[in-house]
Amino acid sequence: MTTTLRPGSAGADAARLPGRSLLRIGPVSLLIRRRAVLVAAALTVLLLLAVVLSLSLGTPYVAPADVLRALSGAGTPYDLVVFDLRLPRVVLAAVAGAAFGVAGTLIQSVARNPLASPDVIGITQGAGLAATVALTSGMAAVLVAPTALVGGLLAAVLLFALGARHGLAAQRFVLAGVAVAFGFRALTEVVMLTADPIDGLRAQIWLIGTLAGKGWTEAAWIAGTLLVLLPVLAWAGWALNSTALDDDTARGVGLRPVARRIGLAGTGVLVAAMVTAQVGAVDFVALVAPQVARRLVRAERPPLVCAALLGALLLVLADLAGRRLFAPTQLPAGVLTAAIGGPYLIFLLLRGRRRSS
């Protein structure tokens, strides 16, 4: 959404481009795409409305006005329902969705491929294999998430080892990820087939991705990771502007494209591994959010902030739909996000066919 410019530099001329404004903060100048700001503001409003709706719907029903009074601390008969039963899960959905949006944006930008996401390049499958082993081996429940995180990071190490040649080239990076994903998925199936049926069912639910029974602890881990990485993410938001350049052009303007790709991809897989370890394999949010945000902003690359907001909105709505569509039966959020992702892939196929014709 923004680009850092030096006053008087050649890049400052871009500030006069239509649809962009130059914001100066002390010695730093930021080139802002006005449409991106408007889209981010609209997504923030929609996210807040979705949060209030999610806190309101359920048994018992809480009127939106009572939800707002409870959140303001005015004291209502529904404080227990809003604060203790619903708010932790809604906050987790928003934080996890934002993290998936960030991870997907970074990975797709490095891969230069709209189909690249943590659930395509093997990070989700690595975390899933580790979680499946933990759940089927009698490991304590508190150790499942850390084990899944280790699995996701090991998958990232394997991905970088296979895709590091030629400076982490985009096509090789994606192909290495697909290979890692298939390998871990096959191993997961083997573990589940040889496990106790009950433990296998628990692992299957984890692999689908659900927010049921989770709340503040998981949200704190994800939010803490994003806060720790905030300086890196600020750099990533600026560095993403150069990912569309080929290596020779990037070097010609004084950039280090290989180091940038490694930094962006490393940050993306770390965020993806952490959020998957906490909420399970919620597919398609990291795939869909960056590309839809890019189309809303009409930008050349996925915008980081808008993708995070859209990811949060998608997961809050998916979790709400999972809770209410077939109540009292609750569907895992991953089922609903998969229902969104399928039509999206068909849309990409039809769009690609229309362009080729």
Q: Dihedral of CA 35/41/47/52: which sign?
A: negative
pLDDT of amino acid 251: 67
pLDDT of amino acid 34: 83
pTM over 0.75: yes
Per-residue pLDDT 10s for the chain (357 aa) are 544 444 444 444 544 566 677 767 666 666 777 888 999 999 999 999 999 999 999 888 999 999 999 998 888 888 899 988 999 999 999 999 999 999 999 988 887 777 778 888 888 888 889 989 998 888 888 888 889 889 888 988 888 888 766 656 667 778 888 888 899 989 998 998 888 888 888 888 888 888 888 889 999 999 999 999 998 888 887 777 766 666 667 666 666 777 787 888 888 888 988 888 888 888 888 888 998 898 898 888 888 999 999 999 999 999 999 888 887 888 888 888 877 777 776 776 676 666 656
Location of structure tokens 């006053």: 7
| Nearest C-alpha neighbor of 271 from the set 339, 235, 224 | 224
Query: Does residue 168 come out as left (phi exceeding 0), alpha (psi in the -120 to 50 range) or beta?
Result: left
Measured between alpha carbons, how far is 322 from 331 in angstroms, rounded to an integer?
4
pLDDT of amino acid 6: 47
pLDDT of amino acid 205: 82
Length of the chain, please?
Answer: 357
DSSP state at residue 9: S
State how far the alpha carbon of 41 is from the alpha carbons of 36, 37, 285, 326, in Å. Answer: 9, 6, 20, 32
| Nearest C-alpha neighbor of 42 from the set 349, 305, 270, 259 | 305
How does DSSP assign 169-191, residue by residue? -HHHHHHHHHHHHHHHHHHHHHH
pLDDT of amino acid 69: 92
pLDDT of amino acid 357: 61
Query: Does residue 63 come out as left (phi exceeding 0), alpha (psi in the -120 to 50 range) or beta?
Result: beta
pLDDT of amino acid 68: 93
pLDDT of amino acid 8: 45
How does DSSP assign 281-328, residue by residue? ---SHHHHHHHHHHHHHT-SS--HHHHHHHHHHHHHHHHHHHHHTTTT
Q: Dihedral of CA 319/324/328/334: which sign?
A: negative
